[in-house]
Structure 1
Amino acid sequence: MARLIALALTGLLLAAAPAAAADPDACATVRMSDPGWTDITSTNGILGTLLEPLGYTQKVETLAPPVTFESLKNSQIDVFLGNWMPAQSRFIEPLTAEKAIEVIRPNLDGIRFTLAVPAYVAEAGVKDFADLAKHADQFGRRIYGIGPGAPANQNIQKMIDAGDFGLDGWTLVESSEQGMLSQVDRAVRRKEWIAFLAWEPHPMNSQFQIAYLSGGDAYFGPNYGRATVYTVTRRDLSKNCPNLARLLSQLTFTVDMENQIMGILGEGSDGKAAAAQYLKAHPDLLSGWLAGVTTRDGQDGLAAVRAALNQG
């Protein structure tokens, strides 16, 4: 009897004891980058919505891609969900060779990223990179890109400098994503000609009728710049923050998911609010993402996130 009582007391004590911390305090703040891209605002919003009820604090900085990768190398940020490949190969390959960062996993596949024109321009005969120079005056000898320093902009500038496709003398117009799309919107409303960077997932694919150009394989990859997006982290994050790393290793997205969240963003929500709205309507996603993941103090992570979303 005494042995049974002792065992029962031991069980009660163990049940009352706090769970072991899943990750140390050094992992509590998750520093991330957003280059100002709507798709990354969306995926950062998803991760932030998961991190907060798990006991982490998300801190997002607006950093251009070159600064993002340098910050990962120097351990000034922890996670980047926007490593577009092969467009960012020149940034990522030296860092992986040096083992200066960790590539966790692909988080989005089956996307396109190359030059595009409005559908009415394609119908007029511009369907390939080689068609641009034939209509140089109508395009104003301009190609509209995104923020300065973006790898895609660098590819366009290389193409112009090399005179490929007869584009010598053309100008790359660098701007923010929103600035570029404002130019597209203005051109479409006036039925003017414009060539610009386009990609999916992005609301531009439903906002405008656009046509992706063929022929840019040497600069954007085959199949209209078919791309894969990877999650990358600072060196040793998996070793030092195993619970966070487990979540990152299970976190994947789809084109449709990101398009829907970006649509909510377009209605005026911020990244976390848009992600929370989407996840409340798609709670089935949580079990796969959070399998085996705990809160930072060792409690059930899935239950914590579900409770937080239901309270929202």
Structure 2
Amino acid sequence: MRTIKLALLLLMSSGVLMSAASHAAATDEKDCTAVHMAAPGWTDIEATNAMAGVVLRALGYQQTVQNLSVPITYEGLRKGQIDVFLGNWMPAQAPLVKPFMDAHAFDVVQANLTGAKFTLAVPDYVAAAGVHTFADLTQYAARFGGKIYGIEPGAPANQNIKKMIADKAFGLGDWHVVESSETGMLTQVSRAVREKQWIVFLAWEPHLMNTEFHLTYLSGGDAYFGPNYGGATVNTVARSGFMAQCKNLGRLFRQMTFSVDIENQMIASVLRGKVNADAAARKMLSANPAMLEKWLDGVTTISGASGLQAVRASIGAQ
């Protein structure tokens, strides 16, 4: 009888433990259902956020994207208000992110894009007139109006330019940065190109500007933008603890990588083709089944079903 009672007690205890474990798992899953991401207003990150969003929604998650400056994004990661950011451009953002990294405010998940670049550029007719390097700029200061066109205030790339000016590097000590949005900067570039005016501005790839304009990237800015014309790696970063807390999402974001070609195609579809970002993302994912399989290897829906099958069904892929 005692043996039977002991067995019953163990069974009941086991049931309580299993119930508690199930409850804990459900609570963790509930905490992970909403994925908070950030967009600094750059078309490349809007493209990658859109592709990520299609996948997340198909898996049963809710993606929210907040339009935030880069410094505010990292502050959001530190405070736990942002879960994932796909736009950690390195080494351009190195000075900005160092205090956050020292404080363990976020984790670097992985490199989601290699082969990118980010530095100053000029239209090809300016290059043809003799401007090929950072050092060439100063002798044509009057033609450039002593201005370098940047992006939104607070952007790390703008800070790099300001430091270059403060250092009086390349004889640019009396120049200044014109800060604007990405759209505002490119509107200014478009106007200058149309009127064959001289302009020097921040340029990067992937971006539609590389096909919209005939531009030349300037060499010699390694100390401020890194070697190989600001050769960059773009990382996925997540708030501290997110990857451990949300393991299924962690697996997805560890496997989610892009290519310069894919991002350029996405950006072209949205900006040139006037296609909705969600529709462009679905088309891109459907056209790249091998990429999708890599992303979703071992990833499930929020209810535990095959993630790959769910996403394929959502985008109409075979």
| TM-score (normalised: structure 1) | 0.91
Give the Cα–Cα distance (whole angstroms) in 1 for the partners of residues 27 and 80 of structure 2: 21
Residue 270 of structure 2 is aligned to residue 265 of structure 1 = yes
Q: Which residue of 1 aligns with 2:203?
A: 198
Residue 293 of structure 2 is aligned to residue 287 of structure 1 = yes
Q: How many Å apart are 1:23 and its aligned residue?
A: 5.8
Deviates more, 1:89-98 or 1:203-212: 89-98
Q: Which residue of 2 aligns with 1:4?
A: none
Taking the TM superposition and a 5 Å limit, the aligned residue runs for 1:206-245 are 206-245=211-250
Q: How many Å apart are 1:269 and its aligned residue?
A: 2.8
Q: Which residue of 2 aligns with 1:305?
A: 311
Q: Which residue of 2 aligns with 1:107?
A: 112
Q: How many Å apart are 1:209 and its aligned residue?
A: 0.4
Deviates more, 1:85-94 or 1:197-206: 85-94
Higher relative contact order (CA closer than 8 Å, sequence separation 6+): 1
Q: Name stretches of at least 5 consecutive residues in structure 1 with no aligned partner.
A: 1-19
Q: Name the SS of the counterpart of 1:295 in structure 2.
A: coil
Q: Name the SS of the counterpart of 2:65 in structure 1.
A: strand
Give the Cα–Cα distance (whole angstroms) in 1 for the partners of residues 294 and 243 of structure 2: 19
Residue 155 of structure 2 is aligned to residue 150 of structure 1 = yes
Q: How many Å apart are 1:282 and its aligned residue?
A: 2.0
Q: How many Å apart are 1:22 and its aligned residue?
A: 11
Aligned residue type for 1:293: V
Q: Which residue of 2 aligns with 1:131?
A: 136
- Alignment: residue pair count: 293
Q: Which residue of 2 aligns with 1:182?
A: 187
Contact in 2 for aligned 1:44/1:271 (Cα 8 Å) = no
Aligned residue type for 1:279: L
Q: How many Å apart are 1:272 and its aligned residue?
A: 2.1
Give the Cα–Cα distance (whole angstroms) in 1 for the partners of residues 170 and 153 of structure 2: 23
Aligned residue type for 1:227: A
Contact in 2 for aligned 1:22/1:294 (Cα 8 Å) = no
Q: Which residue of 1 aligns with 2:281?
A: 275
Q: For 2:127, which of 115, 122, 125 is the aligned residue?
A: 122
Q: Which residue of 2 aligns with 1:12?
A: none
Q: Which residue of 2 aligns with 1:296?
A: 302
Contact in 2 for aligned 1:23/1:242 (Cα 8 Å) = no
Taking the TM superposition and a 5 Å limit, the aligned residue runs for 1:158-173 are 158-173=163-178
Q: Name the SS of the counterpart of 1:102 in structure 2.
A: strand
Deviates more, 1:158-167 or 1:209-218: 158-167
Q: Which residue of 2 aligns with 1:87?
A: 92
- Decide whether aligned partners of structure 1 residues 214 and 22 sit closer, same or farther in structure 2, where only a CA change above 3 A counts: farther
Q: Name the SS of the counterpart of 1:24 in structure 2.
A: helix
Give the Cα–Cα distance (whole angstroms) in 2 for the partners of residues 65 and 37 of structure 1: 10
Give the Cα–Cα distance (whole angstroms) in 1 for the partners of residues 114 and 137 of structure 2: 28
1:230-254 CA-to-partner distances (Å, cap 9, x unmatched) read: 0000110111100000000000000
Give the Cα–Cα distance (whole angstroms) in 2 for the partners of residues 185 and 40 of structure 1: 22
Q: Which residue of 2 aligns with 1:62?
A: 67
1:203-244 CA-to-partner distances (Å, cap 9, x unmatched) read: 100010000001101100111111100000011011110000
Q: Which residue of 2 aligns with 1:8?
A: none
- The runs of at least 4 aligned residues of structure 1 exceeding 6 Å deviation read none
Between the two proteins, what is the percent identity of the paired residues?
56
Q: How many Å apart are 1:21 and its aligned residue?
A: 6.2
CA RMSD between the two structures:
1.5
Residue 53 of structure 2 is aligned to residue 48 of structure 1 = yes
Give the Cα–Cα distance (whole angstroms) in 2 for the partners of residues 141 and 197 of structure 1: 15
